[in-house]
Structure 1
Amino acid sequence: MKKFKEIVFNNLHLKILSLLVAFLLWLNITSTQKTRFEFFAEVKILNKPESLEIVKVEPEKVLVVIEGIRSKLNQVNISKITAYVDGRNLKKGKNTVKVFVKPSKTENFDVVQVIPDKIHIYTKTK
């Protein structure tokens, strides 16, 4: 028992200091690691021509993958991130258009991927 106490309490201040340094190092590494976050967003159609009516959108939702530092990703409000397509060039019938995300880059995150990156919009004249 005496040997155990000697091992535990010998240089106790150095042992406590080393635990504190290890904890601070762990905290620093985990807070600066880049993390990915995935969520589904409904695709909005902007600048739709007045003469066309949207019949169907395939798919209606896309998977958005964002990446950033974990502590800053926790502050992101995903309801303010929108997936959209530019409908200026839509024609009657089947249209394949690229999906964009707004905002695409902030100080908190970067948009890494949108799956699928193109969607099909079926239209007809009014």
Structure 2
Amino acid sequence: NVVTRLLDKYSNDRGIIFCRTKAGTNQLTEKLKGEGFSIEALQGDMQQKERDKVMRAFKNESLQYLVSTDVSARGIDVNNLAFVIHHQLPDQLEYYTHRSGRTARAGKTGASIALIITGEEENIQKLQKDLDIKFRQMTF
């Protein structure tokens, strides 16, 4: 429900939602497709031809949102993304930076939104300290 509300909030924008696993990527994509969002998955089990097709659609803006694993995100170089959503926090520190950097292309800025569940507060504190960033709570 939170992801749906965020996508509704950013309904005029484009963005990427990051998941840790291929299964999580596929499940979230199918759920959001079922709710009518213009969204596709990008994950490591896809054939290169399928990945290229999804990326072409995303780059030419016929696809509004992308759900991706960290490994698949390596080749994503798309301008004018308004946000990234960390559906699940990454396992590795550099992945957080890599994910968030998808919005900071060609001098642009964007939102990096992390969905936090109970028990992840320690991870947030570590990210803030190690990356010298500050999280703030969103309400909507």
Pick the structure with more helix per residue: 2
TM range (shorter): under 0.3
TM-score, L = length of structure 1: 0.21
TM-score, L = length of structure 2: 0.20
Per chain length, whose mean CA-contact separation is higher, i.e. which structure has more relative contact order (CA < 8 Å, sep 6+)? 1
Pick the structure with more strand per residue: 1
